[in-house]
């Protein structure tokens, strides 16, 4: 067991709340995420981003709530 008093020693208390040490898969979750972040961006995204400039932003339509919390 690794439930020693290392909590807080590394300054990150996020993993140390209540449920003891961070589960061993916690790094894996971050790796899954980071692996995608580091992937080369497919051309389809570059194309889309280039196309955006020709699309006028909608203004004052107010019927879409997606961007609001």
Distance in angstroms (rounded) separating the CA atoms of residues 14 and 55:
41
Q: Which of 16, 36, 39 is nearest to 26 (CA)?
A: 16
Distance in angstroms (rounded) separating the CA atoms of residues 61 and 5:
55
Of 1, 13, 38, 43, which one interacts with another protein (CB under 8 A)? 38
Tell me if 43 contacts another protein by CB under 8 A.
no
Query: Shortest Cβ distance from residue 5 to another protein (Å)?
Result: 19
Tell me if 14 contacts another protein by CB under 8 A.
yes
Q: Which residues bind another protein (CB under 8 A)?
A: 14, 17-19, 23-39, 41-42, 44-45, 48-49, 52-60, 64-69
């Amino acid at each position: 067991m690794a439930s020693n008093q290392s909590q807080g020693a590394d300054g990150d208390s996020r993993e140390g709340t209540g449920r003891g040490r961070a589960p061993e898969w916690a790094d894996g979750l971050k790796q899954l995420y980071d692996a995608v972040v580091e992937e080369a961006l497919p051309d389809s995204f570059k194309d889309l981003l280039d196309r955006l400039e020709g699309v006028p932003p909608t203004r004052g339509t107010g019927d879409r709530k997606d961007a609001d919390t």
